[in-house]
Structure 1
């Protein structure tokens, strides 16, 4: 499902490599907040790994049924800051243009979670988390930077775990 709050995966005018790497994370968290599967998929390689607090999901089918099913079931807002990008010069991927096709990214993310459909109701329980993100990315054949591996480590939480169905470490 796509959302009217999401721009297309490929933006115009073209971005610098650093901006395009950062945009992969923006596409991912915007997809979390808008329940936009197509936008999420534009940020991940089909065989990519999403790891949350040590729980790894391999490939888009498992990520959809396990990770996205949980995230899309709650109302969320993810705020991204402290992004750092390392472009690996001289790296190549089969079929991709020569040079600069691999990157690493780190970021800090604050995420607010409220039970699905209840976000605008007063007095709702919520769960706020502060997390560190670490990613390895590759430039795909379509020119978009996509996650090979996105690791999310919640460093603190505040609020009611029942909003997401239990403790992060148990998910």
Structure 2
């Protein structure tokens, strides 16, 4: 028998750096200056080791951070995160390269070149170099919602712990990131910036119309008109966001986000859809009952919800929202079966101290495909 030559296993391929990830996206249109938002982010970064900016897609997190970063005297390192960055061998070299590029110190990148990227030794070496550096860089991680690996969260916590006040980590995500940095909150070293602070006020809305869209100043709304317009747009945005929080909270298994969508005594009437499926579901009364049904531990589902065709009407502190919601359900661990529903939602909402919340939902089915038993875990 012919001999087979044996060779050592080749090392794992090194992930190439993607230069586009290391800079903010370039705006397609001129941006309206927003010193109010710059001051808000600046104050948070000045007093904190970690700044978290969480909010829905499209609310303006990336634009706000891009504008703010351009005003900073401190060096700013930027990394746009994607799902492939759950591999620490890909993420951590990008972080090191971003810090090296921002500070002009190539040793920041070289100092961690020996250990396995993402290992405790790698992160410690990088952190020690940051601490020894004369600059106090700001590291911005945008679209951090893609990171689900616990080890990466833990290593970032190690980075902030070793660097302390020599580094400010700014994390932007669609949902609250799972970084274990709560220890910083009692000392005021963790800042959470609400996405609602990014909404345009009346002056900014007027600047957007005149500067951003070229509307002649003479035709721009008056301050009173602008305030009315902005208030109505905010209400419409928050009304729709209540339904989106319900859908996203359910899909992400985020109970905290899910609960914010409802008033404490909310009613959820799913009976018309259940009847179509040959099932029996009582009206759910109270947010605890609604949560118990949707997060039933005996029914493990992977779901996605898409909301469309929303219509909103409101008077004072009460509103009515109608929308189509497409809901895909697949048993966790068995995606060979599914139940896809297109449902029509009629939602009553009320204004609360924390914004708009749903007080009653009535759901009817438009069409469906798949196995109804999926919905009950059978």
Do both proteins adopt the same fold according to a TM-score greater than 0.5, normalized to the shorter chain? Answer: yes
Equivalent position of 1:111 in the other structure: 327
* Alpha-carbon distance between aligned partners in 2 of 1:13 and 1:52, rounded to the nearest angstrom: 35
Q: Could you say which residue in structure 2 is the equivalent of 1:158?
A: 369
- Structure having the larger proportion of residues in strand: 1
**Structure 1 moving runs of 4+ over 3 Å:** 8-12
Q: After superposition, what is the alpha-carbon deviation per residue over 1:72-106, rounded to whole angstroms, capped at 9, x for unaligned? A: 72101111100000011xxxxxxxxxxx2111100
Q: Contact between 1:32 and 1:72, CA under 8 Å: does it hold in 2?
A: no
Query: Which is helix-richer, 1 or 2?
Result: 2
Question: Is 1:64 paired with 2:298?
Answer: no
Larger RCO, structures 1/2 (Cα 8 Å, 6+ apart) = 1
Change (3 A) 1:71 1:47: farther
User: What is the aligned length?
Assistant: 148
Question: Structure 1 pair 46/105, CA: closer, same or farther in 2 (3 Å)?
Answer: same
In the alignment, what sits opposite 1:77?
304
- Three-state SS of the structure 2 residue aligned to 1:7 is coil
Structure 2 unaligned runs (5+)?
1-144, 147-173, 177-193, 200-232, 273-281
8 Å Cα contact 1:53/1:154 also seen in 2:
no
Q: Secondary structure at the match of 2:353?
A: coil
What secondary structure sits across from 1:69 in the alignment? coil
Select the structure of larger CA radius of gyration: 2
C-alpha separation in 1, matches of 2:175 and 2:258: 12
Offset at 1:116?
2.1
1:81/1:30 CA distance change after superposition, 3 Å: same
The gaps in structure 1 that reach 5 residues or longer are: 89-99
Contact 1:104 / 1:134 at 8 angstroms: preserved in 2?
yes
Q: Secondary structure at the match of 2:268?
A: strand
* Counterpart in the other structure of 1:35: 253
Change (3 A) 1:29 1:17: same
SS at match of 1:19: helix
Work out whether 1:146 is the aligned partner of 2:330.
Answer: no
The TM-score normalised by the length of structure 1 is 0.77
Deviates more, 1:70-79 or 1:36-45: 70-79
Confirm or deny: 8 A CA contact 2:307 2:326 kept in the other structure.
Answer: yes
Structure 1 partner of 2:84: none
- Answer yes or no: is 1:7 the counterpart of 2:175: yes
- The question of whether the paired residues in 1 share the 8 Å contact of 2:299 and 2:377 is answered with no
CA shift digits 1:79-136 (9 cap, x unpaired): 1100000011xxxxxxxxxxx21111000011110002445xxxx1111011000100
Deviation at 1:165, TM superposition (A): 2.2
